[in-house]
Amino acid sequence: MLVLDQVETRYGRSIALHGISLHVDQGEFVAVIGPNGAGKSTMMLSIAGVLKPAAGSITFDGESLIGRAPERIVRDGIALVPEGRHIFATMSVHDNLLMGATAGRYSKGELGAEIERVLELFPALRQRTSASAGKLSGGEQQQLAIARALLSRPRVLLLDEPSLGLAPRVVDAVFDVLEKLSAEGITILLVEQNAAMAVEAADRTYVLRNGRIELHGKRDELVNMDSFESVYMGFAEGKAQS
Amino acid sequence: MTEQIQYLIAALQLASQDALIALGIAVVFGIMGLVNFAHGEIIMLGAYVLLVVLGLPAPLAIFAVLIACAFVAVAMERIAFRPVRGSSASTMLVTSFAVSFLLQNGVISTVGNLPQTPELPGILSESFHVGAVRIQYLQVITGALAIILAVGLTLFFTRTTMGRRMRAAAEDLRMARLCGVDANRVIAAAFVISGLLAGVVSLLLVAQTDLVTPQMGSAPVLIGFVATVIGGLRSLVGAALGGFILGFVTVALQVYLPVDLRDFRDAFVFAFVIAFLVVRPQGLFGPAQERV
């Protein structure tokens, strides 16, 4: 469904992605894990159309996404929940949700019901729809960012580090929602530093380091793999030092 | 007492006008981080269009000026600002200076540098009395327009879909695009609003001074820029309020400065601005620190 082939993305002269290839099939839950600076966010922004790869191809249902504007890509069915959440802090929770619905092509009357449906996944938000989004807690903001993305009615949901800066209990809640969405049939591409949780939740996982895919496998394969252990431990230690 | 009220009315007029200029600049700055110094030239071109359409019935002439200003603003964006969109603030700033010089000198070289004085309907300079206080019709019109436009803009930004998209884009353009907001469209909308506001200011300025010159936009745009800085640059409410405060300070200095010093009024106005920014560098409504 979503295929990256030899994608190379640069910031000026420095290369952030050295020709990475990966694919996400319909209905799959795929994770990409890797340490800080591995190129995870670069990859997500390249898919979403914010960054333009210098080489390689990104296709969605066989059509190239390269050169397509971000607003077009979200309309085509790929929604990004960016790192750092980027909720509209000065606007109300409800207005944030309406913004999310921009790309959803709703007919009249349909939108209210869809907002209700999405809020069922996030009971904490339902209480606070008229609150200013900037006043929400970090966990609530993350939930709002996901809810907002869902209102674009995506076929593929891209999530960039949804666990960042959240308390473990809140991270669990976020992953519960992701698994629920996956069970509903939404295709998910998740990028995480929290490797253990991501591998556990995803059908397949890629390991990204220094802009290259180093390893890739299904959940059961990876958990039993020695090399995964070493790669994973390798950057887990690196993270501990930084 | 009568005299005080008379000054107050003059202050309200200038304050309203400054607020409208500041809003026109802030609407564009909010969305693309561009301080458009060529905003003054939109005002100026509107005045020259007024000279051309002066024979038409008043509503038609006003409409023509507003449409022309909106058109100039949008054309400016397409031709000059779109290519530098997303560049550094200084690149955009220099571009806006270039546009400003180009338009001003274009008018000087085609129409000429001489001030022109249009024949305006007499009612604009007429006045009426409330007790001993003399009020010009133009002062009433200016104040009413400022209120109507402020309310109208507030409703537009809070109640309409396009308004909401523009607010989202002003807060975080990249995220708004990731939600599906068409960047070209919201930016064009910002320039349309900015152009319409410039058109209103253009009409008010001509009605007030009865003068049309190629340089007539320069001073107002500086005032408008300073007002948006006082307001905190990112906030429309702040910009309007900044313009309002600046207008009041200007009239207050005009009235209360010793006669010898009145020629230097603007120096005192800007001294006030500097003092204000020392105390509150982020402006009235600017964020105290970066949001995380």
pLDDT digits (tens, 9 = 90+) for A117-138: 999 999 989 999 999 999 999 9
Shortest CA gap A132–chain B (Å): 13
Shortest CA gap A46–chain B (Å): 12
Minimum CA–CA partner of B182 in chain A: A71
Shortest CA gap A195–chain B (Å): 24
Cβ–Cβ pairs < 8 A, chains A and B:
65
Q: Residue A232's pLDDT is what?
A: 62
Shortest CA gap A71–chain B (Å): 4
Residue B161: which residues within 8 A CB-CB, separation 6 or more?
A98
Kindly list the distances between the CA atom of residue B217 and the CA atoms of B134, B185, B195, B247, in Å, as whole numbers in the listed order. 29, 27, 13, 17
User: Which of A44, A47, A71 to substitute to test the interface with B, most B CBs within 10 Å?
Assistant: A71
Model pTM? 0.89
Q: Residue B125's pLDDT is what?
A: 79
Number of H helices and E strands in chain B, helices first, is: 11, 2
**Residue numbers in A near B238 (CB within 8 A):** none
Q: Return residues 179-238 of B near A (CB < 8 Å).
A: 179-183
From the list B165, B179, B291, the residue facing A148 with the nearest CB is B179
pLDDT, tens digit only, all 292 positions of chain B = 888 899 999 999 999 999 999 999 999 998 988 999 999 999 999 999 999 999 899 999 999 999 999 999 999 999 999 999 988 889 999 999 999 999 999 999 999 999 999 888 877 878 899 888 999 999 999 999 999 999 999 999 999 999 999 999 999 999 999 999 999 999 999 999 999 999 999 999 999 999 999 999 999 999 899 999 898 877 888 899 999 999 999 999 988 999 898 889 889 988 998 999 899 888 888 765 444 3
Query: Using CA atoms, how far apart are residues B103 and B218, in angstroms rounded to an integer?
Result: 12
User: Which of B173, B178, B290 to substitute to test the interface with A, most A CBs within 10 Å?
Assistant: B178
Shortest CA gap A199–chain B (Å): 27
Shortest CA gap B171–chain A (Å): 7
For residue range A171-206, what is the model confidence (pLDDT) as tens digits? 999 999 999 999 999 999 999 988 888 998 999 999
The residue-averaged pLDDT of A28-38 equals 91
A71–B175 CB contact, under 8 Å: no
A91–B174 CB contact, under 8 Å: no
B178–A82 CB contact, under 8 Å: yes
Which residues on neighbouring strands pair with residue B116, listed in sequence order? B212
First to last CA, chain B: 51
- Give the containing element (helix H, strand E) for B75: helix B58-76
From the list B167, B168, B178, the residue facing A70 with the nearest CB is B178
Shortest CA gap B69–chain A (Å): 29
**Residue numbers in A near B178 (CB within 8 A):** 48, 50, 70-71, 74, 79-80, 82, 86
A89–B291 CB contact, under 8 Å: yes
Backbone angles phi, psi at B19, to 5 degrees: -65, -40
Query: Using CA atoms, how far apart are residues A83 and B70, in angstroms rounded to an integer?
Result: 38
Q: Domain segments of chain B: what residues?
A: 2-289
For residue range A53-102, what is the model confidence (pLDDT) as tens digits? 999 999 999 999 999 999 999 999 999 999 999 999 999 999 999 999 99
Instruction: Find, among B89, B125, B104, the residue nearest to B43 by Cα.
Output: B104
**Residue numbers in A near B165 (CB within 8 A):** 99, 102
Higher pLDDT among residues A74 and A215, named by residue: A74
Cβ contact A34:A41 at 8 Å: no
Q: Residue A219's pLDDT is what?
A: 83
For residue range B57-87, what is the model confidence (pLDDT) as tens digits? 999 999 999 999 999 999 999 999 999 998 8
Provide the token pair at B167. 């607010």
A102–B291 CB contact, under 8 Å: no
**Residue numbers in B near A145 (CB within 8 A):** none
Q: Which region, left, alpha or beta, applies to residue B121 given φ > 0 means left and ψ of -120 to 50 means alpha?
A: beta
Q: Return residues 162-181 of B near A (CB < 8 Å).
A: 164-165, 167-168, 171-172, 174-181
From the list A50, A82, A90, the residue facing B171 with the nearest CB is A90
Query: Using CA atoms, how far apart are residues A215 and A34, in angstroms rounded to an integer?
Result: 10
Cβ contact A166:A138 at 8 Å: yes
Backbone angles phi, psi at A11, to 5 degrees: -110, 105
Give strand ranges (E) for chain A. Answer: 2-11, 14-24, 29-33, 55-60, 63-64, 78-81, 156-160, 187-192, 204-209, 212-218
Query: Could you tell me which CATH number the domain at B2-289 has?
Result: 1.10.3470
CA A161 to mean position of chain CA atoms: 7
The residue with tokens 């092509």 is A105
Residue B160: which residues within 8 A CB-CB, separation 6 or more?
none
Q: Residue B291's pLDDT is what?
A: 40
Query: Using CA atoms, how far apart are residues A40 and A83, in angstroms rounded to an integer?
Result: 10
**Residue numbers in A near B183 (CB within 8 A):** 69, 71
**Residue numbers in B near A95 (CB within 8 A):** 164, 168
Q: Return residues 87-116 of B near A (CB < 8 Å).
A: none
Provide the token pair at A34. 């890797």
Query: Using CA atoms, how far apart are residues A232 and A34, in angstroms rounded to an integer?
Result: 8
First to last CA, chain A: 37
Number of H helices and E strands in chain A, helices first, is: 10, 10
A99–B176 CB contact, under 8 Å: yes
